Amino acid sequence: MDAMNFNFLCDEPPPPSGASVGIIGAGPSGLAAAGYLSCLGHAVEVYDKMPKPGGLMLFGIPGYRIPRERIEAGTLRMARRYGVVFHTHTKICCSAPLFEEEGDHFATEVKGLGDMVKKHDAIMIATGSWKSRRLEIPGEELPGVLSGLEFLFPIRAAHYCAPNVKAPDVAGRRVVVIGAGHSAVDVAHGAVSLGAASVDVLYRRSRAEAPCGSLEIERLEHSGVTWNEGCVPVRVSGEEAVAGIEFRRDGAVESLPADLVVAAIGEVATPPFAKELGLESVRKGEVRWLNMTAIENVFVAGDALTGPSKIGKAVYSGLRAARSLGNWLELKAQNRQTEFAADELISREADRFPGGGFRDAPRVRGL
């Protein structure tokens, strides 16, 4: 099986540039940036709280979508051939409390962002989305209510023999999945494979509007999953544990019995010190230099900037941010940063994805 080629921009390692770059987060955006920057000859170190690089590609997405072996072989190639150093089990702290996100318990070392800024010539924040959205309905605090990440993450993480991490106990239980994205589909398939007595999917809109697409729904139904559309959850019922889920459909309140309710309704990003770094201004494009934060040598990319997105967009964001960081390092080495047009604003990243005219290359006077 072919390794993922994160260094597709160069066939051979280039001569060392003498610059050091630290990348926080080893998901698709961070790995894309690491590949790009190591092809420029920069010494790249990647920090991630998980035991292996790959982010949610490795720990959230089932292996039948992205084979674990391809990711691991690709990162090993980066390390051995291009000198990228991976610091796993390392959390870069932080504006959110520890253990608020999935995977925090893997971290055995915590480093401060300030120390990182001092250590490297430039920093890239690509921490992804590890905090699940909440249903915001009564009863969601009951034992037996999980997020999509809480359900999927242990299935992959258990492979690494982490203490206190094991696949969810699903065998013989009635499972209700809320959502209709690929995460919800993966949860439903996972519940079937783990021996659930029944699996129901609740979605607030129609089959035609489901983000996962009609083919995925047909596959679910073929595997024995029941599809329920037009259903808006209003309450999780139960006393000491989940007993069922109540939802509104066609103006009436209905209910389903359940032993396990999984809310696979998406995640939110919790990048370190979002306010202090001025990430909202970066999102709006109110910056002098593409993807640079309020701290001159700190850049941001991927879900940490845009919120949850698909892998392709995260990779694209990582490559764009890496190009900007590389251009900045090159001008900085020549003491020419002031030549960048100070009045230029960078428009929203989403406006130019997935194609179109790229207007984000720094315009340097005299070139």
**Of 190 and 358, the one with more pLDDT:** 190
Determine the average pLDDT of the residues in 289-301.
Answer: 90
Tokens of 17: 């540039």
Concatenate the DSSP letters of all residues of 214-233 into one string: HHHHHHHHHTTPEEEES-EE
Determine the average pLDDT of the residues in 275-285.
Answer: 85
Q: Is 193 left (phi over 0), alpha (psi -120 to 50) or beta?
A: alpha
Query: How much is the pLDDT for 64?
Result: 83
pLDDT confidence tier of residue 188, bands split at 50, 70 and 90: very high
Give the pLDDT confidence of 235-247 residue by residue, as tens digits: 999 999 999 999 9
pLDDT confidence tier of residue 346, bands split at 50, 70 and 90: very low
- Compute the distance between CA of residue 203 and CA of residue 87 in angstroms, rounded to an integer: 40
pLDDT confidence tier of residue 160, bands split at 50, 70 and 90: low
Residue 347 confidence (pLDDT) above 50: no
Determine the average pLDDT of the residues in 147-175.
Answer: 82
Determine the average pLDDT of the residues in 337-354.
Answer: 42
Q: Which one, of 54, 22, 57, lies nearest residue 37 by Cα?
A: 22
Query: How much is the pLDDT for 171?
Result: 97
Give the pLDDT confidence of 87-125 residue by residue, as tens digits: 999 999 865 555 567 788 788 899 988 889 999 999 999
- Compute the distance between CA of residue 366 and CA of residue 364 in angstroms, rounded to an integer: 6
pLDDT confidence tier of residue 164, bands split at 50, 70 and 90: low
| Cβ-based neighbours of 215, under 8 Å, separated by 6 or more | none
DSSP 3-state assignment of 267?
Answer: strand
Q: Is 273 left (phi over 0), alpha (psi -120 to 50) or beta?
A: left
Separation of first and last alpha carbons in the chain: 44
CA dihedral 105, 107, 111, 117 (to 10 degrees): -110
Determine the average pLDDT of the residues in 11-25.
Answer: 97
Query: How much is the pLDDT for 167?
Result: 80
